[in-house]
Structure 1
C-alpha cells in the first residue's frame, strides 16, 4: 500500500458490543496485512481474499457487514466483482468501499458507483480515515441487525399473543359445542376435555384428563371395544369411528354416542396427537330400532297373511276351473264370462301372494336357485308367449343370437323378464312395440327390455326398485313389488338390474339386465 499521511487521532465511533465480519480484498499480500493492521482495533472478524473470485467464494460461505476491495486486480477487477456481488439477492445491499490509486478521476468514480460502490477511498489515505469510514458502516450494519432482531422479537411476541387469544377463543367454541371433544397426545394421554363432556360425565378438569376416570363413564360391555379400537388406531394411524354407550352423571342413564377419532400430524406428516369427538345418537338409534321393529312386524304380518291366503286362493281357482269344465256346454255366455273373470281375479291374487312370499324370502336370504343351462332365446320367447294374445296396437319383439346360453335358474329368470314385460305393457297406455334384445359380452349376457311408454322421472330411476314403490302412483295398479323382486333375483345370480329413461312420455324406458354366464 502506498505511503500515508499522519492526522490527529480521534475517538472511534461507538458501536454496540457485537461482532461481525469484514471482507478485505487485494491482490497484494502486503496491502492485506496493512489493511488488517488498520482495522484490527475495531474488534471485528477480518476475512482476507487475494482475488475477486476468492472474494465471491467467501461470500457464498458467509455474510459480511462491509467489503473493502482494491479496484486494480488481475483477472477479475473490483468493478466486475462488485457487479456480480450486486446480482446476488443475499449480497445486493452489502456496502462496498473501493480502494484506488487513480485519484479522483471523475470517470472512475462514476464507474465505481455504477458498479455498486457505497464509498470511494483514494490512495494514499490516512489509516484513521479508513477505519472511521469502516466503523460507520459496521455501526450502521449492527444497528440494522439490532432493529431486525427487535422486529422479529416483536413479531414473535405478537404471534404468541395471537396464538393464545386464538386458543382461548377455540376453547370457548369447543366448550359451547353440544358434542364432546377430547385432545390426546400421540401416546393416548388426554391433554384436554371440553366442558360439554365434563358436565355430562360429572368430572372435574383434572379428572377429565385421566384415562381411568373417562373409562368409568363407558358402559362395562363397551370398555373392551374401546381398548380394541385404540389398539387399531395406534397400528393404522387412520381415522376411525365407533358407537359406544356413555353414562350421564345426573341420572346414571347410558346413552349411545358416535365417537370419531382423527389423527393430528405436523407439517412433515408425523403423528403428534389425536382429536376425538362424541355425538349423541341415542334418540336417532332408538327411532331406527323402532322403525326396524315395525318393519319386521309388518313383513311378518304380510308373510303370514300371504301363507293364509294361499290355500283358499288355490281352492277358489280349482272350483272355478271345475265349474267351467263341468258345465262347459250348458253354461250361458254371461255365466261363462263371470267364471272367466273369477279365474283371472284369482290368478291375479295368487300372483300377488307369491310376490309377497318371494319378497320375504329375498329379505331373509332364503331364496333358492335351481341352476341349469338356460338358452336366453328360448327363455325370452317363452316370456313373450305368456302375454299372447296382445291387444291391438301392441307387440313384443325378441332379438337374441343363437346358442346364447348361461348357467342360471330358468324359472326365476322367467319371473324377472315377465315382471319387466308386464311393467312395460302397463306403462305404455298408447301401445307400441316392446323390444327384448340380448347380446353376449365377455363373461356376461346383457339383455334390454325397451318400451315407448310414459318413461320414469330421473329422480326415481333408483327408487323404483324399492319395495312398494311406483313411479306413477296407484293409477296403474300393482303392489310395487315386481321390480324389487326382479332386482333381488338378478343380484342373487350375481348380476345387475338398472333402468334408463329420459322421463318424457313417448320416449319410454330401457331396463338393463346383466347376468354372468355362470353362477359363482
Structure 2
C-alpha cells in the first residue's frame, strides 16, 4: 500500500515544536506502515511510540500521555473506530487528538463514523508525507502551547496562593500581636518559633530572645520553674491540651504577675503532632480579688464563730436566771410575771439556736462536724420531731406517714436537727395555716423522706440558692439567719445522702423538701 503521492505542494514553513517534549502514538497492524510513519515524523524530534493493534495502543495510553494519535482505521479484531471510542471514554485520553489513516477515500459514511468516534482529522492513503507531517506538527504545537498555558496558569495560581498565604500570615501576625494575651508557637520538640509582640514588650525581650528557651524561662518566677518543666513532660507524653498557672516577671518594674497558661497541640491532616500553641492570660487582678474575698470570708467566719462562742456563756446564764426566777416565784407568780418569764425563756431559746447554727456552720466548713451513728427508727424519729412543735395553733397539724420497721444507720440527734429545721421553715412560710406532712418510704437501698407544706412556695430561681449560706427564698421578712438549710444539706451529705426542694413557686402551692439517705448494708 503506497504511502506517498505525486501531488505538487507549495513550500511549507514548519511549525516550531519543542524537541523531545511530547509523544506521538502510531497505531497500524502493518509493520512496514509503522516504519514509514516513523520515517516521516522523525524530523519533528518528538518521541514516537508504535502499536500494532488497538489493545496495544490502549495499554500505552494507560502508561503515558500523548500529544497526538495516528490511528489506522482498518485493523483486524478491534478496528480504528472501536479503538477511538474506547480512547474517548477514558478520562485521561478523552481530549487527545486522533488523526484517522484510511484507504477508503473520502466516503461520507466513513467520514461520519470517524468523526462520531472522536476523530480530529482524516488522512486518506496514499498521502503526501509532508502533508501528514504538517498536520502532526500543528497538533503537537497546539498541545505544547496548551501545556505551556497550563504550566503558566499553575504558576500563577501558585504565586497567588503564596501571596495569599503571606497576606494571611501577615494579617494573622498583626492580629496576634494586637491581642492582650501572650502567644507562643512551638515546634514539636518545644523549640520556640514565634512569640507575639505583647509578650516581647511585657518581658522586655527582642524578637530573637523571644525564640530562645532560656531567655523565656528567666521571666518565670523561680518557684514556678519546676512546674514549667513538669507540665512540659506531661505534654510531651500525652500530647493533650493542658493549662497551668504561673507567675511572669514584668520588665518595666520587675513585678511578678499571675497568668493562666494554656498549651494546645497542633496536628497535620494525618493526625501527627507538628507543634504547640501556648497562650498566657493575665489573671493577677482576678486572683487577688478572689484571695481578698476568701480572706474576708474567713475573717467573717472567724468573727461569727468567736461571737457565737462568746454569746454561749451569757445566754446560758440568762436561761439559768430565768429558770431560777420561775422556781423562786413558784405559785406566787402573777400572770404578768409568768408571761414575762416565758417570753425571756423563748427569746433565750431562740438566741441559743442561732448561736448553735453559727457554730455548726463553722464545724461543717472546717470538716469538724462529727457523727455518732446508731440504728434509727425512722417512723419514731418523725413522730418525735412532730411532738417538738406541740401544741400547734388552731387549724394546723403535722401528719406522719411512715412504715413500721424502717431503720437507718445515722446520727439521730443530727437528723432530728435537720427535720426540725425543715418543719420549722414549713410552719414559718405558711402564714395562712395548713397541714404539714412528714412522709418516709423505702426506695431500694435508700430511704426517702419528704416534708410537704401548703405555704408561700419557693421561686424557681431560688430553689438551689436556698441551700447556700445566708440564702433565703423570701428575703429577711420571715426572720432567721439563712443558715438552717445550709446546715441541713451539710449534715445530710455527711451521711452520704442528698437533699433538694421542689415548688411551683405559687402562693398556696407550697413546697416539698426531699431527703434521700442510704440504708445500712445487711
- TM-score under structure 2 normalisation? 0.90
1:380 aligns with 2:395: no
1:257 aligns with 2:251: no
1:233 matched to which residue of 2?
Answer: 235
Count of matched residue pairs: 519
SS state of the match for residue 486, structure 2? helix
Distance 1:312 1:78, change over 3 A: farther
Name the CA distance, whole Å, in 1 between partners of 2:132 and 2:503.
Answer: 92
Gaps of 5+ in 2: none
Name the CA distance, whole Å, in 2 between partners of 1:23 and 1:406.
Answer: 96
Greater Cα offset, 101-110 or 202-211: 101-110
* From 345, 352, 355, the counterpart of 1:353: 355
Name the CA distance, whole Å, in 1 between partners of 2:51 and 2:378.
Answer: 94
| Superimposed CA distance per residue, residues 39-63 of structure 1 (whole angstroms, 9 cap, x where no aligned partner) | 4443333444455455444444433
Distance 1:3 1:277, change over 3 A: closer
2:190 matched to which residue of 1?
Answer: 188
Distance 1:126 1:459, change over 3 A: farther
2:44 matched to which residue of 1?
Answer: 42
Shift of 1:229: 1.4
| Superimposed CA distance per residue, residues 452-504 of structure 1 (whole angstroms, 9 cap, x where no aligned partner) | 33333333222222111112111121111111111212222222223333433
Contact 2:250 2:256 in 1 (8 A): yes
1:150 aligns with 2:157: no
Contact 1:18 1:142 in 2 (8 A): no
SS state of the match for residue 361, structure 1? helix
Distance 1:73 1:438, change over 3 A: farther
2:320 matched to which residue of 1?
Answer: 318
Name the CA distance, whole Å, in 2 between partners of 1:256 and 1:121.
Answer: 85
1:123 aligns with 2:125: yes
Name the CA distance, whole Å, in 2 between partners of 1:172 and 1:348.
Answer: 67
Distance 1:147 1:329, change over 3 A: same
Name the CA distance, whole Å, in 2 between partners of 1:271 and 1:426.
Answer: 64
CA RMSD of aligned residues (A): 2.7
| Superimposed CA distance per residue, residues 14-61 of structure 1 (whole angstroms, 9 cap, x where no aligned partner) | 123452333444455555454444444433334444554554444444
Name the CA distance, whole Å, in 1 between partners of 2:149 and 2:137.
Answer: 18
Contact 2:19 2:45 in 1 (8 A): no
2:5 matched to which residue of 1?
Answer: 5
Contact 1:104 1:122 in 2 (8 A): yes
| Superimposed CA distance per residue, residues 244-279 of structure 1 (whole angstroms, 9 cap, x where no aligned partner) | 222222222222222222222222222222222222
Contact 2:451 2:513 in 1 (8 A): yes
Shift of 1:518: 4.3
1:513 aligns with 2:509: no
Shift of 1:182: 1.8
Name the CA distance, whole Å, in 2 between partners of 1:446 and 1:84.
Answer: 81
Shift of 1:242: 1.5
SS state of the match for residue 349, structure 1? helix
- TM-score under structure 1 normalisation? 0.90
